[in-house]
Amino acid sequence: MKQALIALLLIGWVEAALAQNLTEQLYQQLGPCATTLEEEGKEFYTLKDVYAKQGYLSISGGWPTCGCGCNATVAAFRDAQKKYTFVRWEYWDCAQEFGLYTSSNIEEVLPKGWSINSFVDAQKTPITELTKSYFYIAVELPIYGTDVHIKLKPLPLGMLGKSNNGLVYNTKSVEVMDATAANLRSIANLLETEAQLDLLQTKGIGALPELLQSKIRAILKQNHGYTEAKFERLLNEAHRAYRIYKQLDFDAAIWGWDRTQARFFLKSKTKKNGTKTFWEFLKTAKTYEVLC
């Protein structure tokens, strides 16, 4: 009886120690968002969700004076050897930085062969432009279980990623091509028809009605030194993103966790809900904007 009690106490002690160790590892994996918030002071951040026993931790907060902030969520996935792979999703609002990070090589953690073509029907012609990326994956990490819900999203227009599979996992590999990309949405909302957008793209601003030309040029002149040629390059780059968007058949998926392989696998994909016109794409797309 005494030996059984000792054994139970030892098991309890080991489990408590492992839980404590996991909690510490989760905190360590929160990354620069947590570090920045701690430097600003505890009054500026909140540990939103702490489920350390389930291998989940989330933090968010902001700092004066512009109301900028960040949030970061980390989840632990245990393999057959009881070792953990940590996955973090973070977002910085004013900096417009975001991304997916893993504690080991991300290519070895994501499903094998994962690329922009994972969102194209296997029976269709694959996307061949893979060195540039106009899309990223946003993830929802689980508190319970190991299924990860992902959503394919276009990068804000004006941003372009470098890639080897048509996707970027975070903005570390993204550059801002045009800091005034919000002009795209403003000008798209001035247009009256899809045909006007076709004219704008193929023949330039001068092909549009004079009143519309004046309104567009007034928007462009708000940014000192911004030329019509630069706007046309931005519009053409946005159309490249749109051409890839049109080829996509899926825009969401669920990953399961393979403990033996210590990596995710594809469980299911969700069909894209219709296809927007290029005009609709521009009017609804997020754009890079200089924020406080």
* pLDDT at site 20: 57
Tell me which of 50 and 150 has the higher pLDDT.
150
H/E run at residue 228: helix 228-247
> What is the reported pLDDT for 15?
42
> What are the Cα distances from residue 79, in Å, to 51, 76, 83, 135, 260?
19, 10, 6, 30, 6
pLDDT of 290: 73
Q: Which residues of 115-153 are buried (b: 16+ CB within 10 A; e: fewer)?
A: bbbbbbeeeeeebeeeeebbbbbebebbeeebebebebe
What is the per-residue pLDDT across 96-155, written as a single tens digit (0 to 9) for each?
899 999 999 999 999 999 999 999 999 999 999 899 999 999 999 999 999 999 999 999
pTM > 0.85: yes or no: yes
Q: CB–CB of 234/241 below 8 Å? A: no
Say whether pLDDT at 183 is over 50.
yes
Q: Give yes or no for residue 74 having a pLDDT over 50.
A: yes
In whole angstroms, what is the distance from residue 20 CA to residue 219 CA? Answer: 56
